[in-house]
Structure 1
Amino acid sequence: MIVAFSVAPSGAPADAEARLPADGSVSAAVAEAVRVVRASGLPHRTSSMFTEIEGEWDEVFDVVKRATEAVAPFGSRVSLVLKADIRPGFAGELDGKLDRLERAIGAPSA
């Protein structure tokens, strides 16, 4: 499966040291989540809006949970947006789906 997720804190954190900057940037909090994803060893890709991670159900959702927990100290709430592509029997789809798209874009129209 592939899961695309975005996680961000909001609200005032209990620990004043973890307070978000005045400009509202959540980059430090998101960096903590991405560190969890990278340390997982699962195939992943991060863009400006989402992180995609590929693997089996339990291992992917364990990483999403730990990434969400890593953001929690930065606010009193955490927002998690998640989309999953569950396709049993397929692996390497982070790149495979894009490869098929690029071939389709390059193919002549019918």
Structure 2
Amino acid sequence: MLVAFSVAPSGTGRADGSVHDAVAAAVRIVRESGLPNRTTSMFTELEGEWDEVFDVVRRATEAAGEYGSRVSLVLKADIRPGYSGELDAKVERLETAIDEAGGGVA
């Protein structure tokens, strides 16, 4: 299964609204999990079995929650039994399709 999620605390008391320390704590949990993962400017993606992925998401959410009085979690999952390595394979298939359609950048 692939999961893309984003966590952010609110009620942090920071005048600038920055949540980078909370996000760093959450991403640290993800990276220490050993599951394949990738972090972008908006989401963190990880891949694994249902129980292990959701355990990591829970712990990352709890870590972010330490920085505010409440936490927001946005999550999207691609549940495809029998497949692994899709964190990169899905992107590779997309790039191949773009190249085959003549939309690649030279």
Task: Deviation per CA, 1:27-73: give whole Å up to 9, x if none.
Answer: 00000000000000000000000000000000000000000000111
Q: 1:57 aligns with which of 35, 50, 57?
A: 50
C-alpha distance in structure 1 between counterparts of 2:2 and 2:41, whole Å: 17
Identity within the alignment, %: 74
Aligned partner of 1:16 in structure 2 is: none
The CA deviation string for residues 82-107 of structure 1, in whole angstroms up to 9 with x for no partner, is 00000000000000000000000000
Q: State the shift of 1:22 in Å.
A: 2.1
Counterpart of 2:39?
46
| Matched length | 102
Q: What is the distance in 1 between the residues matched to 2:88 and 2:11?
A: 36
How many angstroms apart in 2 are the aligned matches of 1:23 and 1:64?
26
Q: Which structure 1 residue ranges, 4+ long, deviate > 3 Å from structure 2?
A: none
Find the counterpart in structure 2 of residue 8 from structure 1.
8
Give TM-score, length-normalised by structure 1. 0.89
The residue type paired with residue 33 of structure 1 is A
- Match among 78, 88, 99 for residue 95 of structure 1: 88
Q: TM-score, normalised by structure 2?
A: 0.92
Residue number among 89, 102, 105 corresponding to 2:98 in the alignment: 105
RMSD: 1.1
Task: Give 5+ residue unaligned stretches, structure 1.
Answer: 13-18
How many angstroms does 1:108 deviate by? 3.1
What is the DSSP-based 3-state SS (H/G/I as helix, E as strand, rest coil) of the residue aligned with 1:49?
coil
